[in-house]
Structure 1
């Protein structure tokens, strides 16, 4: 049973769906962002609470003079000259201020939720694009490694023949120079692969993730058609940046409502008890106080918030236009990539080892010169690199379009 479990762990592979599942469950940035939502929720609950009443004790005399009146005892023989007053105050907000602030807190919580959704989509896009890039780097690495090993064998053969003076040492130096250049490319590409893999490890929090455990993506064509058949490119309502800006506009409108309600003065109700401080020995009275809005009617703040509403409205329109244009541009870019990929003969790239081996045999048979062989391998290597980069750019543009539209197309 233990051997089976160990073999299962060794054989475990990760698709992009598996990586996304680990990312959603374990990514530290997402976990941290959730606390902001909980904080906003707590602030919204706090805003529902009424202000505390105020209780005060005053007019307590600690001695008496000759003009003191005789009062009934408070308890026992104490208190015939004791004066004291109690007051209880409660502030009541008018014009629905508390309700409006609660509504603003709800919008602030919505901002945190939208930030969380945007972070998910942004990091998920990074995850998918890194996965696609790593797939391109791995395919390029395999092809480059095959060419590099071929030049190693060729270098060994020419070195052996050069000792017998069957070939020129200049040819050996030419192969050696090409081999060094290829080795440099191998090292650089390995560094890029490690960087991409590290990014996947950080995003997914899978510490033992290796390239051999990844089910790397295959080339998928027709992505532009998949997008156009499932959505209208001008339907950008799910874009998180646009949703966040719409919420900012709603917050500005709510702040405007709050500032308008602040023109209406709040009421403070009082209830007090006075012993020996009035014409009555024991007096219970009621009262109310409020500001008289003569000099300050909150006009400046209302005007400032109205300008903020205009600013947020224009910003929303600008973002919507920019998102719509970005979606159209990316979709057109997908079509151009598909047209370019359609002009490539993919069979040549799948069967590149056969082509390389054929040229190597022609070189050995003297049908092609070493210069021709090296030039062919360079051009072949460059064409392979261009093709794989084109595929990676194509798939990454698709992920960018999904992010812009706020949708995952199936």
Structure 2
């Protein structure tokens, strides 16, 4: 079973960074720019709650006569000749509009939080998958390098023997051809490694010039883990913990509350006012209190109410669609992981060690001329193919378990 190592982050050279899975995740959580941006989105959404809680400011206006033709004065403020007026008014929202706007702002803030966790879920799946992929790619690259070094030494010996006339040229060319094929395959693997390295380095924000070397421990106890977990538990966990499902549920809640708000918008708001007029009214020093509101004869917010109703129906379908998508994803991921676990369990744990020992004996026998060149190369090709397939199986198994974590939104298999 592959588990996260406990080695501390270090840079033994100028271009290699050794990291355990735990250390990689810590760098990701603290440094990833996409997560930092999403945290700002949460802060902005929370600030909108403050805005929604605020009351409307009162309005105040004052007016003074520009010119008094009787006193021939501009801005006449005299007791007998001047004229000025003032008014103070306050808009009062009715039908609970303020409270509904506060609730909508809170839902927006919750959705921003769930979007953050869903982004983290998605990126962490990529992070952990890349971590394991790099590890097994480096194991495969090491295999290629071992074979290349071995064949390079053999080729050098063959060239000397060919010059002395001890072996035929076709044997030299056969070794040389095999060596070139290995070097080409190794180069293709390194290209793929560079792509994954680039993605992982961007996720945890380390220098592009570094090479990440995953530190994990491997053993021969790859015991099945899915057989101990009931499928329904995985499905229930997905319903409970998937942040995108929670966000979709909040989207339905938001649309229902918005429908209530749009209905309340059909009820006019009220404006109350206090006014003073020095002498512009029917009496001197006129004071008044007033109330104003629109008469909802024509516009009763019919279009917005209908639109809000449609949004409720749409969000219901959207939520159901996401739930069914989760069920489909989990079913597919579970079956794939189960097949890989059974395949891995069917392998004899001693097979790899026995095969490694066998290839060593094959090389010795070839040097002693106990086997032919073709037999030697055939064994080498089988050894390479077997080791690469074994690495791929282990990678696919771990990636399938990570897919279960991703689909359920729960770290069931936190290797």
- TM norm. shorter chain > 0.5: yes
Q: How many angstroms does 1:26 deviate by?
A: 1.8
Question: What secondary structure, in the 3-state scheme, does the structure 1 residue paired with 2:67 have?
Answer: coil
Q: How many angstroms does 1:377 deviate by?
A: 2.0
Q: How many angstroms does 1:28 deviate by?
A: 1.8
2:52 equivalent among 37, 47, 51: 47
- Cα distance change on mapping 1:201 and 1:351 into 2, 3 Å: farther
Cα deviation 1:197-235 (Å, max 9, x = unaligned) = 3333322234486445x3135364423235438934344
Per the alignment, residue 128 of structure 1 pairs with 128
Per the alignment, residue 269 of structure 2 pairs with 266
- The separation in 2 between residues aligned to 1:376 and 1:14, in whole angstroms, is 35
Per the alignment, residue 223 of structure 1 pairs with 225
Q: Superposed, which structure 2 residues align to 1:3-402 within 5 Å?
A: 10=12, 14-58=19-63, 60-65=65-70, 78-207=78-207, 210-212=211-213, 214-216=214-216, 218=218, 220-225=222-227, 227-228=229-230, 231-237=233-239, 238-402=241-405
Q: How many angstroms does 1:400 deviate by?
A: 1.4
- Cα distance change on mapping 1:320 and 1:60 into 2, 3 Å: same
Per the alignment, residue 4 of structure 2 pairs with none
- The separation in 2 between residues aligned to 1:297 and 1:259, in whole angstroms, is 10
Cα deviation 1:75-110 (Å, max 9, x = unaligned) = xxx342111111111110000101101110111111
Per the alignment, residue 6 of structure 2 pairs with none
Per the alignment, residue 3 of structure 1 pairs with none
Q: How many angstroms does 1:352 deviate by?
A: 4.4
- The separation in 2 between residues aligned to 1:352 and 1:21, in whole angstroms, is 38
Contact 1:151/1:179 (8 A) holds in 2: yes
RMSD of aligned Cα (Å): 2.5
What is the TM-score of this pair, normalised by structure 1? 0.89
Question: What secondary structure, in the 3-state scheme, does the structure 2 residue paired with 1:296 have?
Answer: coil
Q: How many angstroms does 1:301 deviate by?
A: 1.2
Question: What secondary structure, in the 3-state scheme, does the structure 2 residue paired with 1:373 have?
Answer: helix
- The separation in 1 between residues aligned to 2:299 and 2:257, in whole angstroms, is 21
Contact 1:234/1:324 (8 A) holds in 2: no
What is the TM-score of this pair, normalised by structure 2? 0.88
Q: How many angstroms does 1:49 deviate by?
A: 0.6
Show structure 1 runs of 5+ residues with no match.
1-6
Contact 1:236/1:320 (8 A) holds in 2: no
Q: How many angstroms does 1:328 deviate by?
A: 2.1
Q: How many angstroms does 1:338 deviate by?
A: 1.1
Q: Which moved more, 1:278-287 or 1:347-356?
A: 347-356
